[in-house]
Copies of this chain bind each other. A is one copy, B any other.
Amino acid sequence: MNALQAAISEISGFAVFDGLAKEKIAALCANSTIATCDHRDILFSAGRPALHFGIVLSGAFKLSKPSLNGEDVIVHFSTPGDVVGAFIMAQKAPIFPISATAMGPSRFLKIPKENYLESWVKIPELVFRIQNLLSTRMNILQDQKVMSKAPLSQKVAALLLSLLERNQGPDEMVLPLPLTRKEIAENLGASVESVIRVMSEWSKQGIIETNDQLIRVIKPDRIIEELRDKS
């Protein structure tokens, strides 16, 4: 359980637990385990019974759902501090509505759902923080929906900016997670080829720069400009 102790120190820095004593956090995370994932490991699958929720410790996970035509659609990118599976608690026999897959080496704290029922929900402040995270996610979804009629370049621009906002790493202008063109396409509901056409144009113009699936934004203003009214 030493690793668990370390994890608890780790998560005490996350916004959800801000201001809570370590002992309290430890109690909230009783019986939790740490899942260590490699690239493309599946944390949980859509349709499976959900016995735990949890928090992303490091790395990133993509949350996806199969579509009618068989392809997967990425619904959300989860980065450290994100609570995943918070909605399962409200149901009697909870089922994961989506699948979670690691993007690069990642770690996840698996918390039994009983903990939520027994201790988390008793702390109003905690309920608010969770709702805050969910609210953020709902807003991202809504904002993307609002852009459904916009040209692809604007969608890509909005996605990059939205991911940059979460950035807490050392380099302000590098996206906080490794992202392939395919994943961008799967998230925006576009084809890989179209995404590539948009982004290689930006690369040529020196607006962005990518190596090894890490995307660096060189000229953020140009990306923001992309979102301006083009009519």
Contact = CB atoms under 8 A, between A and B. Distances in A.
A71 B149 CA distance: 10
Contacts of A68: 146-147, 150, 154, 227-229
Nearest to A150: B68
Copies in the complex: 2
A20 interface: no
A46 B228 CA distance: 20
A67 B145 CA distance: 9
B141 A89 contact: no
B127 A134 contact: no
A211 interface: no
Interface stretch (A90-98, A101-109, A162-170): A90-98
Given A67-B149, A121-B124, A137-B138, 14 more contacts: A68-B146, A68-B227, A73-B146, A86-B131, A87-B131, A87-B134, A90-B129, A90-B132, A121-B127, A121-B128, A131-B134, A134-B138, A138-B141, A145-B145
Interface of A: 65-71, 73, 75, 86-87, 89-91, 97-98, 117, 121-122, 124, 127-129, 131-132, 134-135, 137-139, 141-150, 154, 188-190, 227-229, 231
